[in-house]
Structure 1
Amino acid sequence: MRVLAALMVTLFIASCGYTSYNQRQIEGQWFSDSWTSDGEETGMRAWIAFDSDSTYRAIFNNGKEQGKYWIDGYKLYTHADGAEAIAVKIESLEEDKMALQMNRSGAKEVLMFTRANVTTVPGSPDIPDEE
């Protein structure tokens, strides 16, 4: 019985602060409000569309990519066509706001996104479904 109680306490403590997200929560189009590296604004911006068929299209720092995505707990994985899969941490996710954290060459980068309504967002990138 003590082993069971200890296991329950361990599982409870391990689950504290752990948030699990699902794919439906991020479906849609997002544009970045800020992109910081070690707390300093980079001036870079991003646009990304997560589709219900587990594909995504994105513009990052003047480059385009597309591929598959999935969520496991609080990690968002993207697997761009012809590249290795990359995992980023979902720091927060609300109906219209999202914060993603990644580590690039030892620098903590945080991207803050707002859910886009492309009919009302001026200058929204036009990314074709297929090239």
Structure 2
Amino acid sequence: MVQKTLLILLLMVFVFSGCQDNKQAKTDILGDWESIDWYIKNTGEKVNQKMDFSFDDASNYMVDYGSQKEEGSYYISFDKLYTTETGQKEKNVKIVRLDSDTMIFEMNRAGSLELIVLSKRK
């Protein structure tokens, strides 16, 4: 009985700590982000493209690729950022790091894992 109670308490701690992290991520992501590094994870080869983001508190996002823009809605669940471009299907990236001034995410593009480092614009 004691083990069962302890297991339930530990499970509750993990659930509530995960919720708190998710709330912090929803706050930290707000604003304008500039890509400062982008590379293929397994080779280290640099990707020389622009991918700047904006996120607002109404769950809207915009990506500026330089010659193209993408807009739609977003949400965060655990370590994933989900985006749905207007009129398109949902996609997601893994959030490796997100704090008040740095965001790093991992994405699979054409079967290749890539890391993108973004810095929050002041």
TM above 0.5, yes or no, is: yes
1:9-24 pair list within 5 angstroms: 11=11, 20=22, 21-24=24-27
Question: 2:120 — aligned with what?
Answer: 115
Counterpart selection for 2:93 from 68, 74, 88: 88
- Partners of 1:57 and 1:30 lie apart in 2 by 10
- Equivalent pairs counted in the alignment come to 113
Q: Runs of 5+ in structure 1 lacking a partner?
A: 118-131
The aligned residue for residue 40 of structure 2 is 37
C-alpha offsets along residues 5-26 of structure 1, whole Å, 9 cap, x if unaligned?
A: 55667x49x88xx764532210
Query: Which secondary structure does the structure 2 equivalent of 1:82 belong to?
Result: coil
- Which AA in structure 2 matches 1:78? T
Name the amino acid aligned to 2:99.
E
Gaps in structure 2 of 5+ consecutive residues: none
Q: What is the CA RMSD across the aligned residues, in angstroms?
A: 2.2
SS of the residue 1:42 aligns to: coil
What's the % identity of the aligned pairs? 30
- Output the CA distance in 2 between the equivalents of 1:50 and 1:6: 38
Q: Which amino acid in the other structure matches residue 60 of structure 1?
A: Y
In the TM superposition, residue 66 of structure 1 has moved relative to its aligned partner by 0.2
TM-score with structure 2 setting the length: 0.79
